[in-house]
Structure 1
Amino acid sequence: MNIRSMAMVGSLAAALVVGGSAAAGAASATAARNADRPDRCGRPTAVSVFHDGGVPLLDWRENLEFDGRGTLWVSHVTKNRVEGYAPDGTLKASFPVPGPGGIRRGPDGMMYVNFGVNPLERDGGVMRFDPAAAEPRAEKVFGGTPRINGLAIDSAGNFYLSRELATGILKVRPDGSRDEEWTRKADVFGSNGLEIVGDQLYASVLVNGSSPVVRVPLADPARHTTVTRLSHTVLDGKFLDDLTAFGGDLVVAAFRSGELIKVDPVTGRSCVLVSGLRMPTSVRVPRAFGDHDGRRELFVTEASGRVVTVTLG
C-alpha cells in the first residue's frame, strides 16, 4: 500500500464493496472452501526493531529487498529516497528516487525500484541502480506508467506492476514496451503485492472486501484463480499489502489488521503468524544478510517508519 491509498479512503471503501461483490461470483471452489478467518499458526514468534521509525504515515517505509550481497534496500516513499542498510542496522547508502515503491533484485543482479508511487509525482515507472556501486545512483528504465505500486521481475527480465485502483496487472518487457495482451488477460482489479514462484505470479488484492490472494500463470494469465480469501466482510477487510514466498508457503502483510498471514498456495489454508504490527507494508526473507537466518526470520517495513524482524520459533 502507498500513501495515495490513505488519501482516497472514500474511494477505497466504495471500491471494496464493488470489488468484493464482483469477485465473489468468480471465486474458485477451493477459495470458497478456504474463506474462513485465519487462525493462529501456533508457532512462537518474536518481533524486534531493526530500524526505528518516526512519525507514523509521515515516515512511511513502503518496501524492501535484499541484494544478496549484504545490503537491505528500503524504499522510503514519503522522503523520496532509497536507503541501504548493513546487517547491524547501520545506514550505509541513501539516494533520491521520486516516490519509490516496490523494490526487487533483477536476474542481472541489479536492483530495480518503482518510482512515482507518491501521488505528487506525475510520472511513474521503474528505475535501476547498481547495489555494488560505492555511491549508487538510480537511472530510469522506463516511465509512462503512473499509479503503480508493487513490482515483480521474472527470470527473463520482464516487469510486472500492480495497480491498486485499476484492472490488469501491467507487464512490461525488458526493452520498456508493454505487453498489452498479457495485461488485458491478467484482469485482476486492485492488486498490490506481487511475488513470482516458479511459473506462477501471486498477487495480494488490496481493493476487495474479502482480502483475496490470486494466482496468475505467467504463460496463461487469463487462467488466474483465487487461492484464498482472508476476510468475511468488508468491515473485516485486511487491506492486503506485499507478500513473499517462505518455506513453501506465502506470507502476506495485512496493513489494516497489523498481521503477517501465512497461506498455503495449494490448499488456500491460512493462519496468522504474528499480529500487533504497525501498518505493515512489505515482508521479505533475508538473503545473504549477515547472521540473519532466512529459514526462521522475516523482515517487515511499516507505514510507522519502522523496519522490524520477525523470528519464528
Structure 2
Amino acid sequence: MPRRRPEAAVPQSDRRGRVAGVVALMLGSAAFAGPAAADAPETPVAPTVSCSPAKLLMGLPTRTPLLDWSENLGFDASGAIWVARNFGNVVEKYDNDNRGQVVTSVPVTSPGAVRLGPDGLMYVTFGNSPISGAAKQGGVLRFDPNAADPRPEVFVSGLGQANGAAFDADGNLYVADSVSNTIERIRRDGTLDADWTDRAGKALAALGSGTDGIVAVGDLLYVTLLESPTARVVAVPIADPAQASPAVDLAAAPLTSPLLPDDLAVGPGGFLYVATGSGQLVRADPVTHTSCTLASVEPLTSVAVSPSDNRLLLLGTENGDVLKAHVPPV
C-alpha cells in the first residue's frame, strides 16, 4: 500500500513513500527485470522452515513502469481479476481469456484493497495515501462488477488512509488505516463500530506500526505492520481486538533494509502468503510462528489466490506488473 515511511516524504500508495532508494532503483531501470544482483546479500527471514521455491511467470506486464503501480488485486464472482492502480486513480477489470485486455475501468482516488463483498458487489478502499489519511479523506466505494458501466457509490467516508481490507464471515468489513495505525470495523449497514476500532488501535500501538494488509481467517484477523522492524504479522481476535498478539515475525531482528510486509492472503495449507516491499513472497505459519521465502523478485504490493486454483497466486508489484506464482506443495 502506499504508505507513510519515516525516511521518505514521497506520496505513496500505501507504499508510495517507500524507501527512497527503492524508488530510485525502480526509476533507474526501464525494464525492471526484478531479482536483485547475484552478489547482493539476501534479506534474512527468520525463524525459517524448509521452503521450496515458487515458480514465477508474467501475468499482466506493466504498460508504464512505476506509474502503473498495481496496489492491490481482487477477483469478482465470475473469476475476473480487478487491479487497483494507485497512481492512476483507477481500478481496472481484465478479461478472463489471458489476453490481458482491460475490459472495464472505474475511477477511484488512490485506490487500495479490492474485495468481493457478500452481496456480490466489489468494495474498494480509497484515499490510500498519507495526505488523504491526515485529512480523513479515506473511505470505501462499492459498485456492481457486472455492470457495463459500473457506477461507484460511497459506502463509508471520513476514514484515514484506507488501505487493506477484509470481510469476516458475518459480513463486517475491516479496513486498515495506515496513518492512525488501527483497523476500522464497518458493519454491513455502513456504520462504524468506534468502540471496536478504539480497542484495536490501542492493542496495535503496543505491537508495531503501519497497519497495512488484512485477511480474515475464522474468528481471527491477520494484519501486517509495514513499519515493524521485525516485519510483524499480528493476530487480532474479532471478538476481542484488545487481545491482539504477534502471529509471526518474518525477520529475526531489525534489519538495515526492512522487509516491508504489505498485503497478504490465505492460501494452500491454510498458510499466510505475504507480499513484501523488499521483493519477497513469504509463506508464514501463524501456528508455529515460522516463515520461509518462496521467491525474491521485484518489490511486491499484494497477493491474491486464484479462485480456480488455490496453488496459483497473483502478485501485484510497485513496477506495475502482475506476476503469477505457482506455489509448491507444502
TM-score, structure 2 as length reference: 0.80
Q: Report the Cα offset of residue 185 of structure 1.
A: 1.4
Q: 1:178 aligns with which of 175, 187, 192?
A: 192
The residue that corresponds to 1:84 in the other structure is 93
Cα distance in 2 for partners of 1:74, 1:144 equals 24
Matched letter for residue 215 of structure 2: E
Q: Report the Cα offset of residue 57 of structure 1.
A: 2.9
Matched letter for residue 304 of structure 1: N
CA contact (8 A) 1:249 1:264 kept: yes
**Runs of 4+ in structure 1 over 6 Å off:** none
The residue that corresponds to 1:117 in the other structure is 128
1:201-280 matches, within 5 Å, as 201-231=221-251, 232-247=253-268, 248-256=270-278, 258-276=279-297, 278-280=298-300
SS of residue matched to 1:201: strand
Q: Report the Cα offset of residue 38 of structure 1.
A: 5.2
Cα distance in 2 for partners of 1:126, 1:304 equals 25
1:93-137 C-alpha deviation (Å, 9 max, x unpaired): 112111111111111111100011145655210000111212222
Please, which moves more after superposition, 192-201 or 224-233?
224-233
Cα distance in 2 for partners of 1:55, 1:304 equals 8
The residue that corresponds to 1:18 in the other structure is none
Cα distance in 1 for partners of 2:180, 2:109 equals 21
The residue that corresponds to 2:68 in the other structure is 59
Matched letter for residue 83 of structure 1: E
Unaligned 5+ runs, structure 2? 11-16, 20-43
Cα distance in 1 for partners of 2:18, 2:65 equals 20
Q: Report the Cα offset of residue 283 of structure 1.
A: 0.2
Cα distance in 2 for partners of 1:3, 1:59 equals 17
1:1-313 matches, within 5 Å, as 1-2=1-2, 5=5, 7-8=8-9, 37=46, 39=48, 41-87=50-96, 88=98, 89-119=100-130, 121=132, 123-187=137-201, 188=204, 189-231=209-251, 232-247=253-268, 248-256=270-278, 258-276=279-297, 278-288=298-308, 293-294=309-310, 296-313=311-328
CA contact (8 A) 1:112 1:128 kept: yes
Cα distance in 2 for partners of 1:86, 1:107 equals 22
Equivalent residues, number:
285
SS of residue matched to 1:270: strand
Cα distance in 2 for partners of 1:176, 1:207 equals 29
Unaligned 5+ runs, structure 1? 14-34
1:209-234 C-alpha deviation (Å, 9 max, x unpaired): 11100000111111111011112114
CA contact (8 A) 2:175 2:184 kept: yes
Matched letter for residue 273 of structure 2: V
Cα distance in 1 for partners of 2:64, 2:47 equals 30
Cα distance in 1 for partners of 2:327, 2:210 equals 31
With over 3 angstroms needed to count, the CA separation of the structure-2 counterparts of 1:36 and 1:74, relative to structure 1, is closer
Cα distance in 1 for partners of 2:257, 2:291 equals 16
1:68-87 C-alpha deviation (Å, 9 max, x unpaired): 31310111111111101123
SS of residue matched to 2:195: helix
Cα distance in 2 for partners of 1:116, 1:271 equals 33
With over 3 angstroms needed to count, the CA separation of the structure-2 counterparts of 1:157 and 1:226, relative to structure 1, is same
| RMSD, matched Cα | 2.3
SS of residue matched to 2:190: coil
User: What percentage of residue pairs aligned between the two structures are identical?
Assistant: 39
Cα distance in 2 for partners of 1:113, 1:175 equals 16
CA contact (8 A) 1:101 1:113 kept: yes
The residue that corresponds to 1:24 in the other structure is none
Q: Report the Cα offset of residue 157 of structure 1.
A: 2.5
Matched letter for residue 194 of structure 2: E
Matched letter for residue 204 of structure 1: T
With over 3 angstroms needed to count, the CA separation of the structure-2 counterparts of 1:56 and 1:286, relative to structure 1, is same
Q: Report the Cα offset of residue 90 of structure 1.
A: 2.4
